[in-house]
Structures are given as structure tokens and as C-alpha cells.
Amino acid sequence: MHLSFDQINLTRLPDNETDWFCNRILALSIVILFIFGFAGCQQQQKSGLPPGDPDNGGLLLSDGFEAVVVTDSIGPARHLIVNDNGDIYVKLRRSYDDGSIVALRDTNNDGKADIIEKFSVYESRGNYETGIEIYDGYLYFSTNLHVYRYPLIPGELIPDTTRKDTIVIDDHERRYHAHQTKPISFDDQGYMYIPYGAPSDACQIPARTPGLAGQEPCPELDKHGGIWRFYANKKNQVQEESRAPDERTHPVGTEYATGLRSIVAMDWNPVDGQLYAVQHGRDYLFRQWPEFYSRWDSAMLPAEEFVRITEGSNFGWPFCYYDQMQEKKVLGPEYGGDGKKVGRCSEFDDPIIGFPGHYAPNDLQFYRGDQFPDYYHNGAFIAFHGSTIRDPYPQAGYFVAFVPYVDGQFSHDWDVFANGFAVVDPIVSTSDAKHRPMGLAVGPDGSLYITESINGKIWRVMYTGDKERFGEQQLARMDVEKRTASNIRTPHEEEDNLERDIALGGETIYITYCAACHARDGQGSPPRFPPIAETEWVTGDKERLINIILNGMEGPIMVRGELYNNPMPAHDFLSDEEIAQVLTFIRQNFGNDASAITEEEVRNLRE
């Protein structure tokens, strides 16, 4: 497009030469503004992308990226998937009266969902429902114990809910535990992959008992601690101990890989035809083995492992864990380790990357779109849901990372792609975080969608910059985040210790042994760990409360209207005086107002 000065409509050219020059400059400015404005409109029309929100929905992103909030309050969102027409389906963490899946549609391309509908109501017994995928014309989704599917109807937002197929049934014993989440992945050969998380940290019985050796061999590995392969289109399949397919009596699952404690983040990579995952490492190294680990060690270890999985892979759980600071797998203390010994761990598969401990990786998404710069092509996005047990240091995670794919393999380094979800810095208690990133999906136009699990906010991240000029300068901002943000960087062992000024007594005992689960503010970490603030479980029957500390507790309970099913280990290693101090502290803090518990009351029950 070309415009001359003569085409600018000026009412009058002044006689004075200086005024004439100023007027020509004004005309030139109008031309430049018009050209750039026209080019901007052309670019917007060419991309078809909606405008980002002025504040990017609160996110911090690299230069050239924008974000628009699709919706901000659909409920505790887990994983999501985007259909070819742009419709979004989100799995909520359990079934609610109005549905467990949320369907969203943007009819005017402003980036905001203007149709939001819920569907799929069923009986639910857990708070870790996660998986949702589209495959072969069906919408697949998982509960704690099942994988179901509905047929999609072309052009319709809601699938045919009258035709629900049951694809996988979790029918074995000990089905209800903290790591029963079932994300879903499909390969290109008609198979579906489902992880079965382990119900313990290191195969102890009872679990999480200080100083107790792990079982050898570990019976949990028969049906837990790995990934099983099923047929994508076969109904009513069950998992069996068999390590090979056997259809003589009924369809069975095949163990594909083992030695993986807890998998929530998983995706099939069509580039190399392999399955990838990021596993949650074990917890409580200091609380259970203080002779080998400091509290700083326990906050940083073990690594969250980004792994490439082939059939028969074994990553060593429960016998070994990966130490990202030593860059090696070491023997777990339950099996004779001391934080340095390698022993049998040299036999197991190593990860691609060991991320710092307790980041809580909850989704993995490979980027196969063409909207983002080439730097992102075939790379991996990882959503870190955020820690609950990093005390006495700030909680960590709560961001989205990116792992580049370079020369046919994944880099051993990683970037911060998006931060700012938590809003607060530092995050002292998990409940302080305003949002916790959870699910990832790539839309048909190459936008990246991100869910969070507290309120159900969804972001759509888009690239509107110059793809040809994207490089280190644009990434520099997020490199600063990686080095300075307290939820990402390595904490200083002394200066970042949040307890360095706390006096001894019940509060110290609480922070040392209880805050990892129930949080420093007593609000817990729903749906994983219950609150102890303003609950009859704490302020009520003294004997019941003391017995929970002495004997532990297992099985589902209701706390403030929420179902919890995570085992509470016995703390009988504490003295009578220490138990009395810590229980008195929790009964008289966090909004609780109840009488003290004496050392004699504890001693009488222990005897």
C-alpha cells in the first residue's frame, strides 16, 4: 500500500516556511501511524487470534506471548482437551451434582467461553479424578477406579451421554489411596496407557513409619508403581498381575513399565513413537530418616523425574530415587541407603531431567502446533502443581516449564514458560497460592491452554510476536524468574529457613512433623490432606485425637464436608510430653479453642 503527501487532506498549507515544515512532519506522522495500524489489523486478521487480556490474566510470560482468560471459575479443574473445532472439555476432580466434566465453547472468537455446560454425573469416591482425552471420535475420561467414554456428536458441544462405555475397571484390592489418579494417553497403534500409582512412599507397612525398612520384594509392584497398557477400543478391561496379555478368560491389562511411584503427567510423543511421563518423587526423607537427611535435603529431594518410557522400563521405585544435585540414582534409606550409596540403583533407568523435589508435575504436553516460534516445536510443556511439603522453606512449583527438543532429543536444561499463578511470593503455605497450574492442552490453532485446580480458571496462551526474531533476548525475562522467584529457585539453607526465629515447643513440633501435610496455617491441602483448623476432629474427643497420633489412621473420613482418604502414619516415636505439647498447640491455634492435653492423658492411653 502506498500513500503520498498529496493524499493527506490538509485544509491549508501555511505561507511561513517553518510552519510548512511542521505541517509536513505532521502529515508524515499520520501516514506512518496509518500504515502501522493497517499492518496490525492485517496481522490480527491473518492470525485469527483474539486479543490477550491487558494483564495476561495475571501470568508472567516471555516477550511476544499473550494470554486471555477463557473462564475463571468452573470449579476445581484437572486435565483438559481441545477438540478440532476449538471446543474445550475439562475434567473436574470428582463428580458433582451438576456434572464432572465441563464443556466450553467460544462462539465469537473473542477468546472467552460464552457457552459453559456441565455433564456426566455418577457416584464418586475420590478427589483425584483427572484424565480426559479425545480418541477415535470418543471423549475418554477417568475416575479414580474407571476409564469411561462417550461418543462425540459432530457439531454438538455435549457428547451422547446415553451411550457411556466402560473401558477399564480398577477391580483389585487397596484401590483407595492417594496415588490412584489415572491420566490417559493413546499411542498410534490402538493402545491406551494408564498408570497405577503406589500407595506408599517406599513400600513400608505401615507406611511412613520412621526407621522402618521397606518390604523386599515389594508386593505393591504387582499391581502398583507402574504403567499398564490396554486396548483403546475394548470394553471392561481389568488389570492383572500377569506381565503378558492373556485373553483366554477375559481382557486383561499388560504391565508396560514399572518402578514409577506416582504418575499424573504423561503424554505419547508421535515424533519418536514413545511414551513420556514426569513422576512425583517420594516424600518425608528427614521426618523418617533424620540421621541421613537434613530438612533442607528433604525439601530439595528426591527429584521429580522426566522420563522416556519404553516397554519393560524400570525406574527403580521403591528401592532407589534420583538425586538431581548428585546427578545419579541412589539407594533409598529403607533399603540400606544413606543418601550417597548407589548399590543396585545402577541397574535402573535414569531420567532425562531431574527437576527439584516436590514441584508436583501434574501434566505433560508436547507442542506440535505452528503458532509458536520454532524454538518450541516438538518440545515439552510441564505443569507443576506445586508442593505441600517443603517446610521449613517456601513452597515450590506453581509454574509451567518448557523442555526444548534439539537435534532429535530433549534438552537436559529447561525454561520457565509461565509463572505468576500463585500471585504471592513467597508461598509459605499451600493454601496461600491463588492458583495451582494443573492441565495442559494445545488447541487446533497452536494456542496452549492451561487449567488451575483451585477455582477453575483457564488461560489461553498465544504468540503474537515476530517468530523469526525470537531468541535469547525474548527468553531473558523468564531466565531471571528461574534464578530469582522463590517458588522456582534453590532456597538458601539458612537465609530462606522460615523457622529460624520460631521458639521451641508445640509449634516447633507441629512444623517439623505436621505442617508438611496440614500446612503451616492448618488449612491442609485439599483434596490430599485435611485441614486441622476449625474441625471437630481436633477440638472434640481428646482420646480419639491422642489415639490418632499414637496409632495412625487409615480409611476415608469427612472433614468440613470434604472427603479425604490419605493414611495418617502413627507418630508414636514422639514422647508423651511432645505429643501433649503439639496437640495442645493445634487445639488452641488456627481458629480452634479447646482445652489443653496433658502428658498424663497421653501416657495413660499409650499404656
CA distance 534 to 550: 22
pLDDT score, position 313: 97
CA distances from 48 to 44, 377, 444, 447 (A): 6, 20, 12, 11
Give the CA dihedral 79, 188, 274, 148, nearest 10 degrees: 30
The structure's pTM equals: 0.82
Region 288-303 average pLDDT: 95
Three-state SS for 453?
coil
Region 148-169 average pLDDT: 97
Q: Which CATH architecture has domain 56-484?
A: 6 Propeller (2.120)
Pair type for strands 263-269 and 274-279: antiparallel
Beta bridge partners of 134: 139
CB 593 within 8 A of CB 574: no
Scored b (16 or more CB within 10 A) or e, 73-97 reads: ebbbbbbbbbbeeebbbbbbbbbee
CA distance 428 to 430: 7
Cell of 238: 481389568
Q: Is pLDDT larger for residue 573 or for residue 77?
A: 77
Q: How many CA atoms lie within 13 A of 318 on its CB side?
A: 29
Region 583-604 average pLDDT: 88
pLDDT score, position 127: 78
Q: Is 407 exposed, middle or buried (0-12, 13-18, 19+ CB in 10 A)?
A: exposed
Region 446-465 average pLDDT: 97
Give the CA dihedral 597, 598, 599, 604, nearest 10 degrees: -90
Residues 6+ away with beta carbon under 8 Å from 205: 215
CB 420 within 8 A of CB 549: no
Q: How many CA atoms lie within 13 A of 8 on its CB side?
A: 20
Q: Which residue has the cell 506471548?
A: 65
pLDDT score, position 252: 62
Cell of 268: 505419547
Q: Which CATH architecture has domain 506-606?
A: Orthogonal Bundle (1.10)
Summarised one tens digit per residue, pLDDT across range 212-267 is 999 999 999 999 999 999 999 999 999 875 444 444 444 568 999 999 999 999 99
Please give the DSSP secondary-structure letter assigned to residue 261. Answer: S
Per-domain boundaries in the chain: 5-47, 56-484, 506-606
CB 518 within 8 A of CB 536: no
